[in-house]
Amino acid sequence: MKIAVCVKQVPEGTKRIDRATMRLDRSGEGALNAFDAHAVEEALRVKDAAGGGEIVLVSMGPAKAADALRKALAMGADRSVLVTDDAAAGADLVGTSRVLAAVLEREQADLVLFGQQAADADGAVLWSAVAERLRTPVISQVAELTVADGKARGKRQTEFGYDVIEAPLPAVVAVSDAINEPRYPSLKGIMGAKSKPQETLTLADLGVEAGAKTEVLALSDPPPRGDTTKIEDDGNAAAQIVEFLAEKRLL
């Protein structure tokens, strides 16, 4: 079985917008997106249950995103494909899904795994856009996954109980952080990751464009919240709150 896992490097620490480009500042340290670590772990478990196969990591980002891919390789993935190109900087959902789908079409994986969302955007829709381009079934928010007999079966929790959804392979599956506990890379895995194949592609290599279909027109601070009243608890805070609410005719 061949499993592709789409992963992303996200900024560490406090996120901020670069006012010059009006994009997320990615100049600092980055790390493997936490949700994607669950997708990598699940791929390893599916591979073990199938008795073998190949796990390929697929990503788009700056050249330094290779650092995040090496962590996933150290966990046990077999190889990685990173699309890095200055022309892809600032790509939105449309452009990113086009690039990832192009790589996945080339790879022809039986199963494509995503983390449910990325910590830098929290959009939780990229997997759906990629599945649409690949014309494959998609299951999201999966907290329990079984792959057997040419089918993927995902269980997910809803406000009314549980859904169990089955789809034929190839399929796209987005996993939640409840599905497993990602393993820590061993020293052997970290050392071995250095010798695993790490392919780097440009947009020209894939014959696609990643231009954004959206444009940020302005960036500004949020409006002031107006007058506020601060109450220090010196023993009669409750009475002060009641008095404040009565003054505002909220009681």
Per-residue pLDDT averaged across 121-138, rounded? 92
Please state the three-class secondary structure of the chain as a single string.
CEEEEECCEEECCCCCEECCCCEECCCCCEEECHHHHHHHHHHHHHHHHHCCCEEEEEEECCHHHHHHHHHHHHHCCCEEEEECCHHHCCCCHHHHHHHHHHHHHHHCCCEEEEECCCCCCCCCCHHHHHHHHHCCCEEEEECEEEEECCEEEEEEEECCEEEEEEEECCEEEEECCCCCCCCCCCHHHHHHHCCCCEEEECHHHHCCCCCCCCCCCCCCCCCCCCCCCCCCCCCCHHHHHHHHHHHCCCC
Domain ranges of the chain: 2-206
pLDDT at residue number 123: 80
The pLDDT value recorded for residue 34 is 92
Q: What is the pLDDT of residues 20-33, one digit of tens each?
A: 776 777 777 788 99
pLDDT at 111 over 80: yes
pLDDT of 225 strictly over 80: no
- Over residues 94-112, mean pLDDT: 95
Q: Is the pLDDT of residue 179 over 90?
A: yes
Band of the pLDDT at 97, cuts 50, 70, 90? Answer: very high
Q: What is the pLDDT of residues 139-164, one digit of tens each?
A: 999 999 999 999 999 999 888 899 99
- The confidence score (pLDDT) of residue 26 equals 73
For position 203, what pLDDT does the model report? 94
Rounded mean pLDDT of the chain? 90
How does residue 37 score in pLDDT terms, banded at 50, 70 and 90? very high
Rounded mean pLDDT of 226-233?
77
Question: Residue 238: what pLDDT?
Answer: 87
Assigned fold of 2-206:
Rossmann fold (3.40.50)
pLDDT band, very low/low/confident/very high, at 174 (cuts 50, 70, 90): very high
CB atoms within 10 A of CB 110: 18
